[in-house]
Amino acid sequence: MRVPDADLFNPQSIMDSDFSPGGASASASVDPDFGFAFDDSNFSDRTLRIEIMPDLPETKSDGGGCCSIADWARNRKRRREDFKKENDFIGQSEEQILNCNLPYTVDGVTYENQDEEAMAMVEESPSDIGLNSNQIGNDSIYNNDSSKNMDCSKVLRVKTIHISSPILAAKSPFFYKLFSNGMKESEQRHVTLRIHASEETALLDLLSFMYSNTLSTTTPTALLDVLMAADKFEVASCMRYCSRLLRNLPMTCESALLYLDLPSSVLMADAVQPLTDAAKQFLAVRYKDITKFQEEVLNLPLTGIEAVFSSDDLQVASEDAVYDFVLKWARTHYPKLEERRGIFATRLSRVIRFPYMTCRKLKKVLTCIDFDPELASKVVLEALFFKSEMPHRQRALAAEEANATYRRFVERAYKYRPVKVVEFELPRQQCVVYLDLKREECTHLFPAGRVYSQAFHLGGQGFFLSAHCNMDQQSSFHCFGLFLGMQERGSVTFAVDYEFAARSKPTEDYVSKYKGNYTFTGGKAVGYRNLFGIPWTAFMSDDSIYFINGILHLRAELTIRQ
């Protein structure tokens, strides 16, 4: 089959095309099964010698030794720490010794791979015999720098497998480069890999997959090990396969957090993106209402916090509450101010949607020591500019971020609806409050629901608006009502003149609907049960004059009485 517009001399163009496993045409073009040829000398042109080295001290096997995701994660973390200690020790020695962390190097060809447990890999050839090599039977291992830190005397066991270079090269850019590095074909009959004992099972499973396109293992820990090996040897089809199997397994908080904490080289792979997306979605749904899981969420790691607070469906009172919670989390997990400022600058500030915070809280951001002053000024100015935009422009900015990971301008499902407030001090203390409700939000109010606005302030006192679906005064039909309430503040009293207005067609100007005055005491509310003087069905009808492009625009003016 010919692949259109593909560079036949570039294996990556073939592997990344729509005809690759898991590509757009995967359902129409299935990779052939060469399982019958695995480790069969009749169908092989090379020999792969696998030298199994001991694991580092106190390191258990990641595969069979782990009975749960938690065990796998702990052992993997310990291995990373042990490798780091080993690297630090090597770095301090007088003689420079290159270790497994460095890129693979075979006869001058470098294979970049950033995984912290990269296997030492060397190429054998009969012509190397007698050239500074360690003799092992009839084979020779060329002593390049990448294998110097592995002592051949510590080899636990050796496995020899017959391999087909075309099959491996077709599935892996790593093996393609290895088998086409310029040596004469007749001199490249043997390849030696040195690995740790904990990697043995995963490597054998990976090699088998490259022939058969399937895996016999189904446990999460084993699949994760194969996924890591597939990333190491650039076998994208196996990464997709493991990712798909892991997605089909029951997800838990433990496993979701582990998938988001895989090494960066794995997380950056397109083949694993669906798995990480599923993990983020699981956490976002589980902790959708963070008020029910405050302690759990407070104990989540950074990747979990990012997944939860990046969700549009997060059920919170307001974005002010998001800011307060994220600040509390940062102070708990990053007690040092310098580290906390750094994590806000690079990660946490992106999950807070500052444009939907109240102006009173934005003022506090400017003076918050947890934020670098330059960052604080930037996010507050951006928020204020967004608030000053016309509604259609705000919707356009939100639409531009529809596919972004972090959506600054997209409104969440807040318990308290955001409002715009314009305040005046002279000639009298006054504020004008704008509340917009979507048609869907109004639909959900029927038959007896209500929605509250964020708090706004006048004369130092907090107020709020509430929209209701209720019965008219004669209890004969449902209707839309709007009320103004004052927050509970002891026995304080406030005399206020107020006016409710709404935009209506055809002029789309604000039209006054109700005026009144009231002396408020803490916790009291006043308003009009049937703001528009029509039944609920007429208010919600398709030809309603009060919905403009699906939005109900309400306005309340409050003035302190002298």
The predicted-structure confidence for 333-371, as pLDDT tens digits, reads as follows 999 999 999 999 999 999 999 999 998 899 999 999 999
The per-residue pLDDT for range 268-292, each reduced to its tens digit, is 888 899 999 999 999 999 999 998 9
Q: What is the pLDDT of residue 153?
A: 60
At 83, list the tokens: 């490798």
C-alpha to C-alpha distances, 141 to 105, 121, 182, 361, 559, nearest whole angstrom:
13, 10, 18, 66, 88
282, 299, 316: which is the final residue of a domain? 282
Q: Are residues 159 and 251 in the same domain?
A: yes
**Are residues 425 and 366 part of one domain?**
no
Q: What is the mean pLDDT of the chain?
A: 80
| Structural domain includes residue 107 | no
pLDDT of residue 77: 57
Do 364 and 471 have their domain in common? no
- Please give the pLDDT value at position 78: 56
- Tell me, what's the pLDDT at 22? 39
Average pLDDT over residues 442-469: 93
Q: Report pLDDT for 264.
A: 82
pLDDT digits 0-9 by tens, 216-254: 988 899 999 999 999 988 999 999 999 999 999 999 999
Please answer whether residues 247 and 223 qualify as being in contact, where contact means their C-beta atoms are separated by less than 8 angstroms.
Answer: no
Higher pLDDT, 453 or 40: 453
Q: What is the arithmetic mean of pLDDT over 511-537?
A: 91
H/E element, 342: helix 337-346
Neighbours of 58 (CB within 10 A): 9
Could you tell me if residue 58 is left (phi over 0), alpha (psi between -120 and 50 degrees) or otherwise beta? left
Would you say 266 and 272 are in contact if contact means Cβ atoms under 8 Å apart?
A: yes
Q: Which long-range contacts (CB under 8 A, 24 or more apart) does 386-394 make?
A: 386/355, 387/355, 387/359, 387/420, 391/436, 391/551, 391/553
Q: In the prediction, which pLDDT does 16 show? A: 42
Q: How far is CA 150 from CA 48, 97, 117, 291, in A?
A: 18, 10, 13, 53
Domain count, the chain: 3
Buried b (16+ CB within 10 A) or exposed e, 196-207: bbbbbbbbbbbb
Please tell me the predicted confidence (pLDDT) of residue 45. 87
What mean pLDDT do residues 70-95 have? 48
Same domain, yes or no, for 163 and 276?
yes
3-state secondary structure of 6: coil
What is residue 154's predicted lDDT score, i.e. its pLDDT? Answer: 83
- How far apart are the C-alpha atoms of 285 and 97, rounded to whole Å? 48
How far apart, in whole angstroms, are the C-alpha atoms of residue 86 and residue 68? 27
Instruction: Kindly report the CATH number assigned to the domain that includes residue 182.
Output: 3.30.710.10
Question: CATH number of the domain that 351 lies in?
Answer: 1.25.40
Q: What does the block give as tokens for 256?
A: 């979701």
CB 179, CB 165: distance < 8 Å: yes
Residues spanned by the domain of 512:
418-558
Burial state string for 130-146 with b = 16 or more CB within 10 A and e = fewer than 16: eeeeeeeeebbbbebeb
The yes-or-no verdict on residue 425 having pLDDT over 80 is yes
Query: Mind spelling out the 3-state secondary structure of 358-371?
Result: CHHHHHHHHCCCCC
In the chain, DSSP finds a helix count (H) and a strand count (E) of: 19, 20
At residue 87, the pLDDT reads: 40
How many other CB atoms are found less than 10 A from the CB of residue 412?
19
Looking at the predicted structure, is the pLDDT value of residue 62 above 90? no
- 439 and 395 together in one domain: no
Q: What is the CATH number of the domain that holds 450?
A: 2.60.210.10
For residues 63-69, give the mean pLDDT. 57
- Which residue(s) pair with 527 in the sheet? 483
C-alpha distance from residue 67 to each of 242, 254, 260, 427 (Å) = 18, 14, 20, 73
pLDDT at 150: 53
What does the DSSP assignment read for 100-123?
TTSPEEETTEEE----TTPPEEEE
CB-CB contact of 510 with 553 (8 Å):
yes
What is the C-alpha separation between 370 and 366, in angstroms, rounded?
10
Shared domain check, 292 and 272: no
pLDDT at 58: 52
Contact between 241 and 213 (Cβ < 8 Å): yes
> What does the block give as tokens for 318?
């307001």
Out of 371, 399, 427, pick the residue that ends a domain.
399
* Residue 232, in any domain of the structure: yes
Secondary structure letter of residue 405 according to DSSP: S
Over residues 118-137, the pLDDT tens digits come to 333 333 333 333 323 233 33
Does residue 344 lie in a domain region? yes
Between 382 and 132, where is the model more confident?
382
Q: 548 with 422, same domain?
A: yes
Residue 41: inside a domain? no
Determine the straight-line distance between the first and last CA of the chain, rounded to whole angstroms.
Answer: 86
Instruction: Give the residue-averaged pLDDT of 260-275.
Output: 88
What are the residue ranges of helices labelled H in 423-522?
Answer: 439-443
Mean pLDDT of 500-520: 95
> Over pLDDT 90: what percentage of the chain?
50
Q: Would you state the pLDDT for residue 127? A: 34
At residue 24, what are phi and psi to the nearest 5 degrees? -60, -30
At 68 the pLDDT is: 66
If one compares 559 and 151, the residue with the highest pLDDT of the two is 559
Write down the pLDDT at residue 126: 35
Of the listed ranges 137-146, 414-423, 521-530, the least confidently predicted one is 137-146
Cβ atoms of residues 525 and 486 within 8 Å: yes
Residue 377 located in a structural domain: yes
Report yes or no on 245 lying in a domain: yes
Greatest alpha-carbon pair distance for the chain in Å reads: 105
pLDDT band at 71 (very low <50, low <70, confident <90, very high): low
Within this chain, do residues 320 and 438 fall inside the same structural domain, yes or no?
no
Does some domain include residue 87? Answer: no
What confidence tier does 171 reach under pLDDT thresholds 50, 70, 90?
Answer: very high
Per residue in 23-53, pLDDT tens? 443 433 467 888 787 878 888 888 888 888 8
Between the alpha carbon of residue 110 and those of residues 62, 103, 121, 207, 424, the distances in Å are 28, 6, 11, 22, 68
- Counting every residue, how long is the chain? 562
Please give the Cα distance from 245 to 229 (Å, whole number).
Answer: 16
Which range (36-40, 540-544, 545-549, 553-557) has the least confidence?
A: 36-40
Q: Give 332's pLDDT tier (boundaries 50, 70, 90).
A: very high
Tell me, yes or no, whether 336 lies in a domain: yes
- Residue 53's DSSP bridge partners are 196
Gap between the Cα atoms of 231 and 14, Å rounded: 18
Q: Please name the amino acid found at residue 417.
A: R
Please say which residue of 234, 260, 282 terminates a domain: 282
Token pair, residue 408, equals 């600054």
C-beta of residue 90 within 8 angstroms of C-beta of residue 56: no
48: tokens are: 């792969």
Position 14 scores a pLDDT of 39
Q: List residues bridging with 547 in a β-sheet.
A: 552
Instruction: For residue 449, give Cα distances in angstroms to 456, 471, 478.
Output: 22, 11, 11
Find out whether 125 and 188 touch, Cβ atoms under 8 Å.
Answer: yes
Residue range 314-319: average pLDDT? 93
Burial class (CB in 10 A: 0-12, 13-18, 19+), 452: middle
Q: Are residues 269 and 250 in the same domain?
A: yes
The two three-digit tokens of residue 273, written as one number: 């993106």
Decide which of 538 and 426 is more confident: 538
- Say yes or no: 534 and 505 in one domain: yes
In Å, what is the CA distance from 546 to each residue of 279, 450, 508?
A: 42, 18, 9
Please tell me whether residues 187 and 222 are part of one structural domain: yes
Cβ-based burial of 531 (10 A; exposed 0-12, middle 13-18, buried ≥19): buried
Shared domain check, 346 and 366: yes
